[in-house]
Structure 1
Amino acid sequence: MTIELIKENEIQETCDMVARACKNSVFAEFYPQQPKYFSIAYDEIKQKTEYGHFYVVKECGKIIGCGCIGAYWDSLTESWINTIFVEPSHQHKGIGKKIIEHLESDEYAKRANRIEIHSAISAIPFYRKLGYEHKHGDLSYKDGMFDLEKFFNK
């Protein structure tokens, strides 16, 4: 298994993996009326590669996971992690944790005092195990997502 920056010719394969991950996970139970959460457009990933570092996880040449980190509103001390997904057949095998650990070792994380993640309700227990908590203790959600954050002492 390798984790590397996405190449442009891998964007569509990544979009397809994200769609499968959303449709075949607990996530779908919480948002059945909101199909926009079940896909990600090529242009969305392309844009994320321009403002941050978008990584893919590969096994035997096939993309089985992804994640992105970038500056939070152009901040030099805050970063934002997003688009964390794992292929359904590879979920619950530690790959999501490896993605987060990789993102937290990225230069955007190393300079950050705080990292924010927007999370679906189904992923909150996963992120809390990794030290992320509700932003300002706020348990409300916007557009079906919760804001979580983690602070680092620099």
Structure 2
Amino acid sequence: MIVRRFEAGDAKEVSDMIRRNFLEVNIKDYPEEEMRELADGYSPEKVISISRQGHTYVVGDEGRIVGTGTVQCIEGSLNACILLAIFVMPEYHARGVGRMILETLEKDTLFSCSDRVELHASITAVGFYEKMGYRHMSKNKEANEDGVYLMEKVLS
């Protein structure tokens, strides 16, 4: 498997992979209607828009994209960033792809220039991020009103 920067020509394949995650993985933990709305919102154009606001990477295996993730600065902050749109092809879950993406994002200059990094984790991903050193921002380790867990890693 190889990790490389996202290119605009990857947008459809990345969009399809993200949509599959919402409709095959996250749908087990969240209301179907919400997952369908999120899936519909992750068009190739949205993927390109996200990539223009930060640094997006993809993981490729045998000519197909099997993972993606983005790091971007938090608006208005000079020393904090956020990790966004981290997804792995459903059939590649638990095969090290998520770790590859996260390790790549953590080597990126936007990440290394930050004192603190945030991410929003789904129910499915919380355990993975905990293993990778991210901690809950909520003292009660509770999800927010959208059912997402706000997590962070303090770097300094």
Q: Same fold (TM over 0.5)?
A: yes
Structure 1: tracts of 5 or more residues without a match: none
Which of residues 49, 55, 59 is equivalent to 1:53?
Answer: 55
Which piece of structure 1 moves more, 70-79 or 59-68?
Answer: 70-79
Per the alignment, residue 10 of structure 2 pairs with: 10
User: Counterparts of 1:64 and 1:29 in 2: how far apart (Å)?
Assistant: 21
Deviations 1:63-99 (A, max 9, x none): 0010000001142210000111111111111110111
Report the CA distance shift for 1:72/1:125 in structure 2 as closer, same or farther (over 3 A): same
Per the alignment, residue 28 of structure 1 pairs with: 27
Note the 1:72-111 alignment, pairs <5 A.
Answer: 72-111=74-113
Residue type of the partner of 1:97?
R
Q: Give the number of equivalent residue pairs.
A: 152
Which of residues 133, 148, 152 is equivalent to 2:151?
Answer: 148
Report the CA distance shift for 1:136/1:21 in structure 2 as closer, same or farther (over 3 A): closer
The RMSD of aligned alpha carbons is: 1.4
Indicate the SS of the match to 1:9. Answer: helix
Residue type of the partner of 1:2?
I
User: How far has the Cα of 1:136 moved from its partner?
Assistant: 4.4
Structure 2: tracts of 5 or more residues without a match: none
Indicate the SS of the match to 1:128. Answer: helix
TM-score normalized by the length of structure 1: 0.92
Q: Percent identity?
A: 28
User: Counterparts of 1:46 and 1:124 in 2: how far apart (Å)?
Assistant: 26
User: Counterparts of 2:17 and 2:2 in 1: how far apart (Å)?
Assistant: 16
TM-score normalized by the length of structure 2: 0.91
Residue type of the partner of 1:122?
T
